[in-house]
């Protein structure tokens, strides 16, 4: 027995009684009952009585075969066994068990579904489904749960498999989604559950535009049609990149900086570098300091120490070097004159300061100091000044520095600070470019070491700038905020929606006039202030931009529909936002046409599908043509309670008057999509036409051309027999012609033009009946005798009145024959 994959199938076992048996279900690996039976369930589902004393006990088991496209096709072997206890009734039964034969269930359905997980926009996607048989399956394709096709026969792949390939051309990004297929087997009324896979349509990487005064270096250099790219952004000389990120990557057609706030993949700006208002350069050193203590007062002897770093690239006339804008850590040093604390000796900076000593607090420090002194004396190498200071504190004077002589700091901080703007005394201002020349190095030009060992010293450089209004500091450079932005603090912020700034280096933005707004931040022109609306709520869906966002009239917005709903027949669509009153809604109703291009005299077949996610039930379907009611269908053609309900309508022998928009509604006044159908016909004047023998026949036939690359052929017939040459009609030349020179009666009859449209059909015009007026016989010379009778015959193909003449003079006689009796000499002529 065959069972459908993914569809629950109930099987039953029935046993006699009484007594009531315990019924057990078993699975097997073959039809041999003893081949590894495994109990899977025991369950009495139904108890039923017969007309006699016999009772039937029935158990139900539900089988569900794997429905995944890669599911196994193994057969299922099932049996059941009844176990009876002893029974004493009308008969005596001691008990026992009985089992059924092993039943074989063969799962049938989709065994393989393949298709691309990613496909580039504009290309085709091919999906291949393989199904088990027998019986013979028909394939039904779906997109996001919406039916794409009717039942389609597949091709026999093997004796037990059928295959069908579904191809979708010109894929768009909005075509991303889940593509699935189900089967309807011969003899079954219910299709299998769909098996599906997800396909993402990716665009090639959009082209990035380098900012003004910047340039991009990309790999690959020409990435048109490529979906994976890496680009590096740089700025021209005199410009600085806003922000620190300079490398950008595109993967699967999406740039990493793309987002709802940056839908156009805009890059950071290259901002113009401008001179700062103030630039400050500070070198700070920490180094070992020798000092000399004194017991005479709270200020120690002068500590003279070299700055121990050589200034390269600095002229002595740079104000901060010449004046010595320097200082020592003032927690431990005191200046008699701040300006004298720093002096340049050559290009080595010398510092002079008094070391601050804290008086003894009358605590006895002698014992710990002596202990420390002993430790110093025990050292192999010791500092003479430290020993001297410690020894001086062993006397009775109360002059110990800090808490003890030995606990005073052995390092201190010195700082050289140069600024392009001085707020101390009358010091001169240094130019910013002079400051950039100052470099401190730990060695003389000749390579000789100055100062203490580097173990005890360190050097740190700090630069700081203060920028003019309208510019900000970026990596110690001042850059000007560009048009469309304004400066606040140390940031260039984009002008918010509703404002603009057309001038660079400003600290505010200009509001748009009343009733207008910009639709995005960062506008640099008043022309960007346009009429705007709030994006409305999308019925049964969502949008980008989202609800209540400012949206420019005339802009394009993306609509996504909820499951089971569509817009313009699609689950997502890009539409034009035309007015603030525009209603945007997804619909559970979708109309489609078997063909959107038909010829005159053909059929228009329409389908109206209602998603079962809708609350509409058992309502008639009304069809519209150009918003005018066309007809009503009372009952659906197909009803699938799990997915959809379908109505169909057929318009037969249509004329070109049916070119237009068709839509449908079911029940409520819910909006639906429309489908445009074009009926192609020909322009040819039929009827009757008289022509004189010897005249030229010129006939013209015009055709409607679907599109510029259409394949349209025109041919002619005379009395249903081809005449003339076949010719191709084009979008720019849609008229064909037939030309016959010097017509005679053999050219008369019914003329028709026939236009054939590739993949659509052909149209035959109404007939044009042409009669060529002429004589059916000719007069000939007659020689006779006087008194004879002569009859002349002159037959035409049309006229009922024939006129005769002699030597050009009209005679009174009429008719197709002229009889002359008693011929005489006056009858000669």
Distance CA 419, CA 421 (A): 5
Does pLDDT of 190 surpass 60? yes
Q: How many CA atoms lie within 13 A of 181 on its CB side?
A: 27
544: number of Cβ within 10 Å: 14
Is the pLDDT at 420 greater than 60? The verdict is no
Please count the CA atoms within 13 angstroms of the CA of 487 that sit on its side-chain side. 21
Strands 597-599 and 674-680: parallel
In the prediction, which pLDDT does 297 show? 40
How far apart CA 119 and CA 223 sit, in angstroms, is: 17
Residues with Cβ within 8 Å of residue 724, at least 6 apart in sequence: 715, 716, 738, 739
Mind listing the pLDDT tens digit for each residue in 722-749? 998 888 888 888 898 999 998 888 888 9
Reduce the DSSP state of residue 409 to 3 states and report it.
Answer: coil
Find residue 299's DSSP bridge partners: 356
Output the CA–CA distances (angstroms, integers) from residue 326 to 332, 488, 606, in the order listed.
15, 33, 91
Rg (CA), the chain: 52
The CA-atom distances, in angstroms, between 568 and each of 512, 659, 674 are 36, 18, 7
Encode pLDDT of 592-625 as tens digits.
888 888 888 889 999 888 876 556 667 888 899 9
Could you tell me if 519 and 555 are in contact, meaning their C-beta atoms sit under 8 angstroms apart?
yes
Q: State which of 82-86, 232-236, 601-605, 783-787 shows the largest mean pLDDT.
A: 232-236
Secondary structure class of 65 (helix, strand, coil) = strand
Confidence check: pLDDT of 430 > 60? no
Q: How far apart, in Å, do the first and last CA atoms of the chain sit?
A: 104
Q: Is the pLDDT of residue 282 over 50?
A: yes
DSSP, collapsed to helix, strand or coil, labels residue 356 as strand
Q: What pLDDT is recorded for position 381?
A: 40
pLDDT band at residue 286, thresholds of 50, 70 and 90? low
Q: Taking 50 as the threshold, does the pLDDT of residue 446 lie above it?
A: no
| DSSP-derived 3-state class of residue 27 | strand
Handedness of CA 815, 821, 825, 828 (dihedral sign): positive
Non-local (6+) Cβ contacts of 551 within 8 A are 519, 532, 533, 534, 535, 545, 557, 577
φ, ψ dihedrals at 78, nearest 5°: -135, 145
Q: Does residue 269 have a pLDDT over 60?
A: yes
Q: How far apart are CA 707 and CA 90, in angstroms?
A: 89
Q: What is the pLDDT of residue 778?
A: 74
CA dihedral of 281, 287, 292, 293, whole degrees rounded to 10 = 90
- Read off the tokens for 116: 């691309």
Residue 314 pLDDT > 50: no
DSSP 70: T
At 790, the pLDDT band (50, 70, 90 cuts) reads very high
Residues 705-722 pLDDT 10s: 877 667 889 999 999 999
CB atoms within 10 A of CB 806: 14
| Farthest-apart Cα atoms in the chain, separation | 192
- Mean pLDDT for 268-280 is 83
pLDDT, tens digit, 9 for 90 and up, residues 142-180: 998 888 888 999 999 998 899 999 999 988 888 889 999
| pLDDT for 639 beyond 50 | yes
The values of phi and psi at residue 360, to 5°, are -65, 140
Half-sphere exposure of 772 (CA within 13 A, CB side): 20
CB 659 within 8 A of CB 675: no
Residue (of 58, 44, 35, 56) closest to 104 by Cα position:
35
Mark out the alpha helices in 324-408 (DSSP H runs).
366-378, 384-392
Pairing mode, if any, of strands 768-773 and 687-692? parallel
Among 550, 557, 546, 556, which residue's Cα sits nearest to residue 499? 550
In angstroms, rounded to a whole number, what is the distance separating the alpha carbons of residues 677 and 147?
20
- In this predicted structure, the answer to whether residue 759 has a pLDDT above a threshold of 70 is yes
Burial class (CB in 10 A: 0-12, 13-18, 19+), 722: exposed
Q: Each residue of 670-705: pLDDT tens digit?
A: 667 788 888 888 888 888 888 888 889 899 998 888
Condensed to tens digits (0 to 9), the pLDDT of residues 466-499 reads: 888 999 988 888 899 999 999 999 889 999 988 9
Confidence category of residue 105, pLDDT binned at 50, 70, 90: confident
| Distance of alpha carbon 375 from alpha carbon 379, whole angstroms | 7
400: confidence class by pLDDT, cuts 50, 70, 90 = very low
Predicted local distance difference test score (pLDDT) of residue 779 = 83
**Burial bucket for residue 105 (CB in 10 Å: 0-12, 13-18, 19+):** middle
| DSSP letter (8 states) at residue 421 | S
> Can you read off the two tokens belonging to residue 496?
């918010």
19-69: pLDDT as tens digits:
788 888 888 888 888 877 888 865 555 566 565 666 788 888 888 877 665
Distance between CA atoms of 169 and 708, rounded to whole angstroms? 19
Q: What angle do CA 560, 564, 569 make, to 5 degrees?
A: 65
Cβ atoms of 81 and 100 closer than 8 Å: yes
Instruction: Give 491-494's long-range contacts (Cβ < 8 A, gap of 24+).
Output: 492/242, 492/271, 494/521, 494/522
pLDDT of residue 458: 60
- Give the pLDDT confidence score for residue 431 in this predicted structure: 47
Take residue 267 and report the two structure tokens written for it. Answer: 């890059």
Q: How far apart are CA 108 and CA 2, in angstroms?
A: 6
**pLDDT of 395 over the 70 cut:** no
Report the distance separating Cα 559 and Cα 741, nearest Å.
62
Per-residue pLDDT at 443:
44
Q: Is a pLDDT exceeding 90 seen at residue 750?
A: yes
Give pLDDT, residue 369.
43
Residue 285: band (very low, low, confident or very high) from pLDDT cuts 50, 70, 90: low
H-only helix segments in 552-610: none
CA distance linking residue 109 with residue 73, whole number of Å: 9
Predicted pLDDT at 73? 56
Predicted pLDDT of residue 268:
87
**Dihedral-angle region of residue 69 (phi above 0 means left; psi in -120 to 50 means alpha; beta otherwise):** alpha
Mean pLDDT is lowest, of 505-514, 522-531, 561-570, for 561-570
Comparison of pLDDT for 699 and 638, the residue scoring more:
699
- Predicted confidence at residue 382, as pLDDT, reads 37
Q: Say what angle helices 384-392 and 366-378 make with each other, to 10 degrees.
A: 160
Q: Report yes or no: 127 and 143 within 8 Å, Cβ to Cβ.
A: no
Judge contact between 499 and 513, C-beta under 8 A.
no
Average pLDDT over residues 327-355: 49
Per-residue pLDDT tens over the stretch 539-593: 888 988 888 887 777 788 999 888 878 887 788 888 888 777 777 888 888 888 8
Q: State residue 46's pLDDT score.
A: 58
- pLDDT at residue 394, rounded to an integer: 43
532-534 and 550-552 strand pairing: antiparallel
Cβ atoms of 80 and 59 closer than 8 Å:
yes
Give the pair of three-digit tokens for residue 706: 């679907």
Among the listed residues 192, 152, 154, the one whose alpha carbon sits nearest the alpha carbon of residue 67:
192
CA distance 213 to 793: 100
The whole-number pLDDT of residue 466 equals 84
Q: For 336-364, what is the mean pLDDT?
A: 47
528: Cβ contacts below 8 Å, ≥ 6 apart = 500, 518, 519
Judged on CB neighbours under 10 Å (0-12, 13-18, 19+), 254 is: middle
**What band does 414 get if pLDDT is binned at 50, 70 and 90?**
low
Residue closest to 131 by CA, chosen among 193, 178, 42, 206: 193
Per cent of the chain over pLDDT 90 is: 17
DSSP H helical ranges for 297-415: 319-323, 366-378, 384-392
The residue among 150, 109, 104, 99 whose CA lies nearest residue 129 is 109
Strands 103-108 and 2-4: parallel
Summary mean pLDDT of the chain: 76
Which pTM value belongs to this model? 0.39
Sign (positive or negative) of CA dihedral 126, 132, 133, 138: negative
């Amino acid at each position: 027995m065959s069972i459908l994959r993914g569809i629950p199938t109930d099987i039953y076992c029935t046993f006699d009684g009484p007594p009531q048996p315990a019924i057990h279900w078993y699975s097997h690996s073959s039809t041999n009952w003893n081949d590894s039976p495994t109990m899977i369930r025991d369950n009495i589902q139904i108890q039923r009585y017969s007309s006699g004393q016999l009772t039937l006990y029935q158990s139900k088991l539900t089988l569900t075969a794997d429905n995944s496209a890669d599911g196994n096709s193994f057969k299922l072997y099932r049996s059941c066994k009844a176990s009876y206890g002893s029974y004493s009734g009308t008969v005596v039964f001691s008990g026992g068990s009985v089992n059924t034969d092993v039943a074989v269930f063969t799962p049938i359905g989709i065994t393989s579904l393949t298709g691309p997980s990613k496909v580039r926009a504009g290309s085709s996607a091919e999906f291949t489904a393989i199904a088990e048989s027998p019986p013979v399956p028909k394939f039904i394709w779906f997109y996001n749960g919406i039916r794409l096709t009717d039942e389609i026969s597949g091709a026999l792949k093997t004796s037990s498999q059928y295959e069908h390939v579904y191809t979708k051309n010109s894929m768009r990004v909005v075509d991303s989604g889940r593509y699935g297929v189900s089967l309807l087997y011969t003899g079954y009324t219910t299709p299998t559950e769909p098996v599906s896979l997800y396909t993402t349509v990716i665009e090639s990487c959009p082209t990035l535009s380098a900012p003004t005064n910047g340039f991009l270096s990309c790999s690959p250099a020409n990435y048109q049609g490529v979906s994976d790219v890496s680009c590096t952004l740089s700025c021209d000389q005199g410009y600085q990149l806003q922000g620190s990120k300079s490398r950008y990557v595109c993967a699967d057609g999406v740039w990493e900086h793309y987002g709802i706030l940056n839908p156009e993949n805009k890059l950071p700006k290259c901002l113009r570098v401008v001179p700062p208002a103030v630039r400050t350069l500070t070198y700070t050193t920490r180094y070992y300091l020798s000092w000399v203590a004194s017991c005479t007062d709270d200020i120690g002897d002068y500590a003279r120490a070299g700055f121990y770093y050589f200034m390269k690239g600095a002229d002595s006339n740079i104000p901060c070097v010449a004046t010595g804008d320097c200082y020592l850590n003032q927690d431990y040093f005191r200046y008699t004159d701040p300006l004298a604390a720093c002096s340049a000796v050559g290009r080595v900076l010398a510092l002079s300061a008094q070391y601050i000593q804290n008086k003894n607090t009358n605590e006895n420090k002698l014992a710990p100091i002596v202990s420390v002194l002993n430790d110093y004396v025990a050292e192999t190498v010791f500092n003479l000044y430290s020993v001297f200071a410690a020894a001086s504190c062993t006397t009775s004077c109360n002059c110990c520095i800090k808490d003890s002589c030995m606990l005073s700091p052995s390092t201190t901080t010195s700082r050289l600070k140069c600024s392009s703007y001085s707020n101390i005394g009358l010091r001169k201002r240094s130019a910013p470019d002079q400051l950039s020349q100052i470099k401190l190095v730990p060695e003389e030009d000749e390579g000789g070491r100055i100062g203490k060992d580097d173990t005890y010293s360190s050097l740190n450089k700090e630069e700081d700038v203060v920028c003019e209004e309208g510019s900000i500091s970026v990596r110690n450079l001042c850059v000007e905020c560009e048009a469309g932005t304004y400066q606040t603090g140390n940031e260039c912020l984009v002008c918010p929606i509703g404002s603009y700034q057309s001038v660079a280096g400003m600290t505010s933005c200009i509001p748009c006039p009343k009733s207008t707004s910009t639709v995005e931040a960062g506008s640099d022109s008043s022309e960007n202030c346009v009429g705007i609306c709030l994006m409305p709520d999308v019925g049964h869906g969502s949008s980008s931009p989202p609800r209540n966002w400012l949206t420019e009239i005339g802009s394009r917005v993306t609509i996504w529909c909820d499951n089971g709903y569509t817009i313009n027949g699609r689950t997502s669509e890009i539409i034009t936002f035309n007015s603030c009153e525009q209603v945007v809604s997804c619909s559970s109703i979708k109309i489609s046409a078997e063909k959107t291009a038909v010829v005159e005299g053909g059929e228009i077949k329409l389908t109206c599908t209602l998603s079962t996610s809708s609350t509409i039930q058992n309502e008639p379907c009304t069809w519209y043509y150009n918003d005018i009611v066309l007809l009503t269908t009372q009952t659906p053609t197909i009803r699938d309670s799990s997915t959809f309900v379908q109505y169909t309508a057929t318009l037969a022998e249509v004329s070109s008057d049916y070119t237009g928009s068709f839509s449908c509604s079911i029940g409520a006044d819910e909006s639906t999509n429309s489908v445009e159908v074009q009926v192609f016909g020909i322009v040819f004047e039929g009827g009757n036409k008289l022509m004189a023998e010897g005249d030229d026949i010129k006939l013209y036939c015009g055709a409607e051309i679907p599109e510029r690359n259409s394949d349209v052929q025109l041919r002619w017939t005379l009395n249903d027999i081809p005449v003339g040459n076949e010719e191709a009609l084009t979008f720019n030349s849609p008229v064909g012609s037939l030309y016959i020179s010097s017509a005679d009666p053999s050219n008369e009859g019914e003329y028709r033009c026939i236009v054939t449209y590739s993949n659509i059909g052909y149209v035959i015009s109404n007939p044009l009946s042409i009669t060529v007026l002429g004589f059916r016989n000719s007069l000939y010379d007659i020689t006779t005798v006087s008194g004879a009778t002569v009859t002349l015959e002159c037959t035409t193909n049309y006229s009922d009145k024939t006129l005769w003449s002699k030597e050009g003079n009209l005679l009174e006689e009429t008719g197709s024959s002229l009889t002359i009796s008693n011929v005489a000499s006056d009858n000669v002529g």
